Amino acid sequence: MVAAETKSKPVIQYRDRTAQFYTEDALAISSGQTPLDMVYIPPGIFQMGSPKGERGHRKAEGPQHSVTIVQPFFMGKYPVTQAQWRAVAALPQVKRDLNADPSNFKGDNRPVEQITWYDAVEFCQRLEKATDRPYRLPTEAEWEYACRAGTTTPFHFGQSITTDLTNYRGTDWEIGGTTLSGAYGDGPHGEFREETTDVGSFEAANTFGLYDMHGNVWEWCEDHWHGTYEGAPEDGSAWISSDKSKKSRVLRGGSWFSNPEICRSANRGGDAPDLRDNLTGFRVVCGLARD
């Protein structure tokens, strides 16, 4: 681990706010486990993607464009936990079976992982049926808007990030002759925990009151993967392709295994909807579908 250098100015920004939320009472999870808190996300306008000068910028993050989130929605305060997953897996099946205990890194309050996109959709459908509320996956635009929470910097913390604030790979990693840095910009190196951590372990919510938007587990979105934002919707709706051969779905946020560039607000990935690994989970949205 490389010790943090003394900086002339802080790289992390803190913002105070009071989050509006409700707790989903339909989940019968035991005392001491993280409740399913749903945080209010107001409508607004933001710049989606990253400018070419941002460190880590990739072609897939452009062109940067204005998106208007017309309808407010609620989003999970945390990624879905293993206790929450078990509670919903016990509800009546809608379309597919769910493994009640799929995760590699065990812990009731750790994020559930080893979840395919299809599994995440089934979770939302079961929860919707049990509560009569419109639960679903976030659209990619909703996810980035919620993550940024009014910021335009690479992370909702500011220009950099530290492993004191979230779970990612804070050590250098050499792969294929290239060294991927565990530090971002003027930020320090840090820990590589090599596993998930309990949701909300770090006192670093964004202005909307959301935790773990950077790192811990990748999060599925509703949208099909597209290589750039050319032709992307500008109203916050899901970008669903009419091309039946296009199956990959969007992933956001990075994971415990990712270097800090991958955990930026604008970074985006995509993979097959049947992907199942210990890097990937999801969080839910409650609100009318934007597609």
Question: pLDDT-based confidence at 28, cuts 50/70/90?
Answer: low
CATH for 19-288, options being 1.10.3720.10, 3.90.1580.10, 3.40.309.10, 1.20.120.790: 3.90.1580.10
Pick the closest to residue 189 from 200, 180, 197 (CA basis): 180
CA dist 261 and 36 (Å) reads 29
Residue 20: what pLDDT? 85
Identity of the amino acid at 106: K
CA dist 20 and 157 (Å) reads 20
How do residues 245-274 score in pLDDT, each as one tens digit? 779 999 999 999 999 999 999 999 999 999
How do residues 189-230 score in pLDDT, each as one tens digit? 999 999 999 999 997 899 999 999 999 999 999 999 999 999
Please report, for the chain, the start and end positions of each structural domain, with discontinuous segments joined by +. Answer: 19-288
- Specify the DSSP class assigned to residue 111: B
Residue 13: what pLDDT? 46
CA dist 183 and 80 (Å) reads 28
Please give the model's pTM, rounded to 2 decimal places.
Answer: 0.91
Contact 34, 86 (CB under 8 A): no
Residue 289: what pLDDT? 60
How do residues 161-180 score in pLDDT, each as one tens digit? 999 999 999 999 998 889 99
